[in-house]
Amino acid sequence: MKKRKLSGFTRKYLAIPYVVFMAIFVVLPLLILLLYSFCETRSDGSLSWNFTFDNYKTIFSPSSVQMLTRSIYVGLLTTLICLVVGYPVALFLADKKYNKSPVLVMLFMLPMWINFLLRTLATKAMFEAMEVDLGMGTVIFGMVYNYLPFMIMPIYTTISKIDPSLLEGAADLGASPRKAFVKVTLPLSLPGVLSGITMVFMPTITTFAISGLLSGNKISLIGDFIDLQVVNSLNVASAMSFIILIVIGISMIVVNKYDKDNTSTGGGLW
């Protein structure tokens, strides 16, 4: 009797706690957010059930649109710099000839062990000590500094998983080291590159505090805007969050489309 009962228990039931958690803390809040973005708040703080597009209208005011484009610009630029700086680093770290111990890889990860606010404040203090004017440049620097490891890590993982005999094979067939890189290493590391891009781009366009701290509150991005609006009007903040959700959703679809061709190879983070 007891045995039969057990056989009814399959592995999928183990997922129930997480599904419940997701429903309560992810799906439900998102629905509430959606609801809020189409409603107004009365002066006493309670929610009025009047359906309205006013929140979205506020967002599409020229100043907000400018902020949105600025955020996307910062996100794209940060991602690009991270890629340009991170790829050679990952390539170097994955080369057993130069990097014989895991210590170097750990060193690149080490900044992540420190709270990002502390890191950013320290960066700010450094810039002030060096008398660098705070502005767009310093914001981008702070972003790159914070998110570079997220670019290096997935690329490093994919490159180190590439079978070294493939490069020997390419050399054997007459490819110079440079050709072998372009024809073998680069295409096989693409899944890692795409992982890196999403892992940097997604958080950078929504990040807050870094822009405010490193620009002396001169430049504010969507993250800062939402942070501000949560106090002013929860409804506008909700609407803005949804806009970002859509932007990220679109970028994910684009990235995944490129990723599809390579799912069978490489070892991206997903």
Partner 1 sequence: MENKKYILELKNINKYYDDKRVVNNANLKIEKGQFVTLLGPSGCGKTTTLRMIAGFEQPTEGQVFFDGEDITSLPPHKREVNTVFQKYALFPHLNVFKNIAFGLKMKKVEVEYVNRKGEKATKLVNLKRKPVEQEIIGKNGEKTVKIVPFCRQYKMVTTKDRKGNVTTKKVNCYKAFIEEKVRRALKIVGLSDYENRDVNSLSGGQQQRVAIARAIVNEPKILLLDEPLGALDLKMRQEMQLELKSMHQKLGITFIYVTHDQEEALTMSDTIVVMRDGKICQEGSPIDIYNEPKTAYVADFIGESNILDGVMPEDKKVIFAGVQWDCVDVGFEPNQKVDIVVRPEDWEVREKGKGILDGKIVSSIFKGVHYEMSCIAGGYEFIIHNTIESPVGSEVSLYVDPDNIHIMTKELYANDKQVEFLSNTTLDLYGGTYDFDPTTLFDDATYDGDNDILTIDGEETALKGKKAVVRFEFTDVEMTDDEMDAPLAANVESMIYKGKNYIVCLRTDNNHHIFADTEYLWDDGDRVGIAVKPDRFKLIRMIEE
- Residues lying near partner 1 in the complex (CB under 8 A) are found at 163, 165-166, 168-177, 179-180, 183-184, 187-188, 262, 264-265
* Shortest reach from residue 160's CB to partner 1, in Å: 16
* Shortest reach from residue 157's CB to partner 1, in Å: 16
* Shortest reach from residue 165's CB to partner 1, in Å: 4
CB closer to partner 1 out of 37 and 189 = 189
CB closer to partner 1 out of 86 and 191 = 191
* Shortest reach from residue 89's CB to partner 1, in Å: 23
CB closer to partner 1 out of 111 and 177 = 177
69-74 contacts at long range (C-beta below 8 A, 24 or more positions apart): 70/219, 70/221, 71/205, 71/206, 71/221, 71/222, 71/223, 72/205, 72/247, 74/139, 74/140, 74/143, 74/204, 74/205, 74/211, 74/221
> Coil, strand, or helix at residue 132?
coil
CB closer to partner 1 out of 3 and 100 = 100
Other beta carbons less than 10 A from residue 164's beta carbon: 10
From CA 207, how far away is CA 117, in angstroms rounded? 12
CB closer to partner 1 out of 31 and 173 = 173
Helix (H) / strand (E) containing 47: strand 47-48
* Shortest reach from residue 264's CB to partner 1, in Å: 6
